[in-house]
A and B are shown apart, each in its own frame.
Chain A
Amino acid sequence: MKKFNNQNYYEILEVKEDASYKEIEDAYKRAKETYSGESLATYSLFTAEECKEILYAVEDAYRILSFSKTREEYNKRLAAGLSVEDLEPTHIEEPAKTAPPIVAESWKEIAPENKETMQCAPAPIKTAVEMPKAVQTNKEAESFEGVEFRGSILKIIRERRGISLNLVAEKTKININYLENIEAEKYHQLPAEVFLKGYLFQYARFLGIDAKKVVEDYMRFYSFNNGEKK
């Protein structure tokens, strides 16, 4: 059960995934009737603004699902486990706009710089003892230079900034389960590569760290581990 703006197109139109084109057509007409006029059924629960939002979603859903070609493409993406927001392809080559890559000299400097993404004061800097091995063994543990951005590192960076996973999910619109799996390095429970890259990019950008490097590093771990399985 999801809020309507997190639903997939089938859920928005309230049809089954194997719905016929007629069923999609009917559902579309019905949704238009329900959410466009001043329906007796909606006014006491949804504001006019919310109805409009639903209508937009309904239009999007109908546009995609009413043509076999776009529907097939969408089904593929759906099977790969992406949410509606990700329908537009994510261009990971695109340079970060909101947060340029930061090459920090120390962890200490990073935290206060990112006030706009922080919800509360950064957690006190932990001692090296608490750091996972990857960082401990690194001579420049205090800097991002030479740090390999794997899931556990991303988690530490996030926690140091006092940012909850919920907030990341909310702001980036990435499913929280994926974020959890990314951090926990559950490589076999992650979405298809192309989407994973998009998520990593967004997540890194939100944390204000070098998104390109995060994708590069993470994908190295990812393919290493996936290769091992085979």
Chain B
Amino acid sequence: MVFESGDNGNGRGSFNGQIWAIGGGKGGTGKSLITSNLGICLSRAGKEVLLVDADLGGANLHSCLGTSFPNVTLSDFIRKKVPSIKNVTINTGIPHLSLISGAEDYLEVANTNYAQKMRLLKQLTYVESDYILLDLGAGTSFNTLDFFLIADCGIIVVTPEPTSIENAYRFIKSVFYRRLKRIVNNHGIREIIAEVMDRKNELGIKTPIELISHIEVIDKAIGQRFKEEVLKFKPKLIINSVRTRGDINIGFSIKSTCLKYFGINMTYVGYVEYDESIWQAVRRRRPFLLEYPNSRPAKCMERIAKNIIMNKELDEEFIL
């Protein structure tokens, strides 16, 4: 879980499943690809899975699953064109796997406020499922950040390239500061957090660790609360498109860097090998897990799903 505390009373009704959010800042790192194949892994294990395309303006999850552009999308529900969330839930043709597609003209939804997002999420839980997977868009819009925070499990997808890693750090920082901002009412402290988001801030505060020591001096209780939040915040990390052993190790390096810089302890759940078969599958608009179930990337996906469910770290002994 991203945040393990007190989130049970968040209006999820009788929903006993888990919500996973897949994000990571940069576009093109394979978030949709991983979301869809992760969904297939879970569905093949007999779980009911609902995939939700929350990528604003860039919805393409349906393409990863090989379904044609859906007639009904999430925005039909938000605009109240249909009465129930179930009306926009479509069958993917894959057993136990259903999909709510985002629309291409989804952008106006970008202005939904927190309460609306919570309501939307609650609606999603009315679709009977064990897992709800949210495919988040690129960037660090409040929408993306909030969905990431609401989820039980936040998953960050990174490719082993500088821009992707930089964006991932920016994403982590934005998510984290947004979370801190949401838990305090103290206006002064919220101002400080907003100020600190700017790297060249006058306070000279660069890292969340420095921020928290600064806050602690002002208000010990809030500082303490923030410390607890840091400990609870445990996003999962996936490295996509790895080609070398060095690429795999970047995951460990990112984990270490985040711990030393942000104080955030990520769980490196696994990597997906780069493979021609993935791109062949993508071109055919077929999930690679179904096209090439015995391929190395498919095995990688299965291990990732397992590690997330078991809350385990990638074990170096078993690197393929």
Contacts and interface: CB of A to CB of B under 8 A. Distances in A.
A42 B250 CA distance: 10
Given A34-B253, A34-B256, A40 B165 contact: yes
Contact of A34 (B161, B169, B207, B257): B257
Interface range on chain A (Cβ under 8 Å from partner): 20 to 34
A40 B250 contact: yes
Interface in A1-27: 1-4, 14, 26
Interface string A35-57: 00001111111100000001000
Contacts, number: 56
A43 to B, nearest CB: 8
Contacts of A34: 252-253, 256-257
Q: Describe B's contact surface by its main secondary structure.
A: helix
Nearest to A5: B260
A26 B256 CA distance: 13
B17 interface: no
B250 A30 contact: no
B259 interface: yes
Nearest to A12: B260
Contacts of B212: 1
Contact of B257 (A26, A46, A166): A46
B289 to A, nearest CB: 28
Given A1-B227, A14-B256, A40-B160, A46 B261 contact: yes
Interface range on chain B (Cβ under 8 Å from partner): 20 to 34
A44 B168 CA distance: 11
Most interface-central of B161, B257, B261 (chain A CB within 10 A): B257
Contacts of A33: 249, 253
A104 interface: no
Interface of B: 160-162, 165-166, 169, 207, 209-210, 212-213, 217, 227, 230-231, 249-250, 252-254, 256-257, 259-261, 263, 316
Given A33-B249, A39-B250, A40-B160, 6 more contacts: A30-B256, A31-B256, A39-B257, A44-B169, A46-B261, A166-B217
